[in-house]
Amino acid sequence: MKTKKIALYTSVAAIVLAAGAATLAIQTGEPAKSSTPVASTGEAGPAITIYKSPNCSCCQSWAEHLDANGFEASIVETDNLNEVKQTHGVPREMASCHTALIGDLVIEGHVPANDIVAYLDNPELNTIGLSVPGMPHGTPGMETGRKDDYQVFAFSANGQQRVFREHKDY
């Protein structure tokens, strides 16, 4: 397991180095734009497995956002997302329309690729994942023409949560 984590972090470090302007935005705390590619080296980024309903088009759009930003996204369609969420410790108030996994890390909802990379680069102690609860307009995969302010939360297995990133439509 330790070797897998080191390999994952090494891959993520390569992506972050390749990100250039996106990385600078992350380091300065500026909101990252979902249209900014995370990786442009052609190297495969982190593998992410997305569990979604067969009929959810916004989940498919989020997977395309991840692919465009260097992730290796694979999709598992299921009619029992609640079971996936429960199995992986997603608190009810953090729930969204899909659940994804990068190793043991849980990604719930429309979390921007840049935020996932930032978390992988500097994981928070005692957290198991990131979430954008609900389905805010303007998040990756929810580009409806309207942009809501939203927050990305880091959450723990016991339900504790804190704001990891804030995205505001300036």
Mean of the per-residue pLDDT values of the chain: 79
Q: Is the pTM of this model over 0.75?
A: no
| Cβ neighbours, 10 Å, residue 148 | 15
AA identity, residue 90: V
Q: What is the pLDDT of residue 170?
A: 57
Q: What is the pLDDT of residue 44?
A: 63
First to last CA, the chain: 42
Contact 170, 147 (CB under 8 A): no
Q: What is the DSSP letter of 47?
A: E
Structurally, the chain folds into a number of domains equal to 1
Mean pLDDT of 55-69: 92
Token representation of residue 91: 């608190």
Mean pLDDT of 127-146: 94
AA identity, residue 92: R
Task: With H, G, I as helix, E, B as strand and everything else as coil, classify residue 122.
Answer: coil
Range of the domain at 114: 2-167
What CATH number corresponds to the domain at position 103? Answer: 3.40.30.10
| Best mean pLDDT range from 1-15, 30-44, 101-115 | 101-115
Predicted confidence band of residue 169 (pLDDT cuts 50, 70, 90) = confident
